[in-house]
Amino acid sequence: MPIAIAVAVLVRDGRALLGHRHPNRRWYPDCWDLIGGHVEPGETPEEAVRRECREEIGVEIEEFRPLPMAVSDPNLDLSAFLVTQWQGEPTNTAPDEHDDLAWFTADEIAHLTLADPAGRTMLQAATRSSTTLPVPQPPRSAFDDQ
């Protein structure tokens, strides 16, 4: 039976957030990866990705949607989510999982060593699409015209 995994593609200003997996990790060491992890028993992938983002980067997801993403390991059942709004500033709250966090453009992602390169194309597309998402505007004030 495949292992259920849920991952988040946090995108801001045309950049995706990735975590660098610690070189001492047993699986996929010393490479860049999406934030996420195992779906716990009784948990939905949506609940898991919310929990993983809270645990690994200290943010609360507000808006996300499923993102089809290829995975090369047939033992994994991957649920990926494009996250466009969250509360809090991502910080590395799980240094045993990741030794670094960084934001990358689609062009930069092309040159990274990824945990699973099969998802590179969709990751790049999601990053590029964020530049076309509507940017929320603050409400206008009566004082704006003065």
Domains of the chain: 3-131 (3.90.79.10)
| Mean pLDDT over each residue of the chain, to the nearest integer | 86
CA distance 75 to 65: 24
- C-alpha distances in Å from residue 33, one per residue of 18, 37, 77, 103, 133: 5, 10, 16, 12, 23
Do residues 111 and 37 make contact, with C-beta atoms less than 8 angstroms apart? Answer: no
Q: What's the pTM? A: 0.84
145: left (phi over 0), alpha (psi -120 to 50) or beta: alpha
Asked if the model's pLDDT at residue 135 lies above 60, the reply is: no
Q: Per-residue confidence at 130, pLDDT binned at 50, 70, 90?
A: low
Looking up tokens 């609360």, which residue turns up? 60
